[in-house]
Amino acid sequence: MSEAEKPTVRLPVAEELIVSTSPHIRGRENIPKIMIQVLIALLPAAIAAVWFFGLHALRVLALCTIGCIAVEVVWNAVAKRPTDTWKDGSAAITGVLLAMNLSAGAPWWICLLGSLLAIGLGKQIFGGLGFNPFNPALVARVALLIGFPQLMTTWVLPRPGVMTGLDALTGATPLALTAGEIAQQPNILSDLFFGNVGGCLGETSALALILGGLFLLARKLIKWQVPAAFIGTVALISGIVNYFNPEITAPPLYHVLAGGLLIGAFFMATDMVTSPMTTLGALLFGFGCGLITSVIRIWGGYPEGVSFSILFMNALTPLIDRCTIGKPFGYVRPQKEE
């Protein structure tokens, strides 16, 4: 056949040519690639969590991730929608983020209930990926926090390197400490930085979170404006308050490293679906998150305000996007008045 074909020139078969609009080539990015990179960015924090809280952290991580994927598949099967959407990786991210919001001592049913709330109430009920107004993991966290305040605010103390067993002792999250108590702990900042503190899985090691965040920034998966504005605002407000009255609140560095600020700023507030698309909008969004977080932390009833602030700003995202549309190239005012 090849001999017979050689002298004649082969032309394309016209009937097989695909027609579509331009452009006909595309960048290599797709949703699963983005999601896998986010998962990679979460890896250091997950490893740190396992290091400090042992296999129980791994259990929570696994339960939440599998739970979220399972809920998505079942939901879609029941709703007669394509059931392979979990393959895009977004459910897994929600699961990992949810686990990051739970304590290593969380019972299995909390993990599964959280998964149901996150994927069901937080995402699928709105139509799945891309349509959810709120960050699904945070929806679950806040629902659990309100539903089971006792369970959600008791933390396991870290035991670096010890894999099995749980520390019977439970302690308060470092954010609940008063300024006086902080002053008695000289190593608190370095503990916070490396993660040797009690709290949710994702509230431990600032170092691991920053590593992951830098990875996301380097891969341009998140807008730098959001974490910068978020963390900056918290540092600024707590700094000012601390300067004038150290009794009310801890110093800014402490505020930045402790609690869920870093994971919130790098991984939750930057969620593409629920944060603004415009650059100015991202700045405003981060600022709003920071402001609300500071107010709740310093004067509010809850020790932590990151999740509430992000959820609140999520609700404002469409408004922010609408208000921050820039002028298009070559924009002319409809009527020019002299």
Q: Which residues bind another protein (CB under 8 A)?
A: 9-27, 29-31, 33-34, 127-131, 223, 272-278, 321, 325-332
DSSP string, 34-92: HHHHHHHHHHHHHHHHHHHHTHHHHHHHHHHHHHHHHHHHHHHHHTTS-GGGGGGSHHH
Quick check: 227 and 70 in contact, CB under 8 A?
Answer: no
User: Smallest gap, in angstroms, from Cβ of residue 127 to another protein?
Assistant: 8
19 vs 146, beta carbon nearer another protein: 19
Structure tokens belonging to residue 260? 């869920």
Quick check: 199 and 48 in contact, CB under 8 A?
Answer: no
170, containing H or E segment: strand 170-171
78 vs 277, beta carbon nearer another protein: 277
Helix (H, G, I), strand (E, B) or coil at 241: helix
48 vs 97, beta carbon nearer another protein: 97
Quick check: 136 and 118 in contact, CB under 8 A?
Answer: yes
24 vs 80, beta carbon nearer another protein: 24
76 vs 154, beta carbon nearer another protein: 76
Handedness of CA 53, 232, 142, 39 (dihedral sign): negative
User: Smallest gap, in angstroms, from Cβ of residue 130 to another protein?
Assistant: 3
4 vs 13, beta carbon nearer another protein: 13
Nearest to 177 by CA among 161, 189, 159, 193: 189
User: Smallest gap, in angstroms, from Cβ of residue 324 to another protein?
Assistant: 10
User: Smallest gap, in angstroms, from Cβ of residue 229 to another protein?
Assistant: 16
User: Smallest gap, in angstroms, from Cβ of residue 314 to another protein?
Assistant: 12
User: Smallest gap, in angstroms, from Cβ of residue 128 to another protein?
Assistant: 7
Beta bridge partners of 171: 155
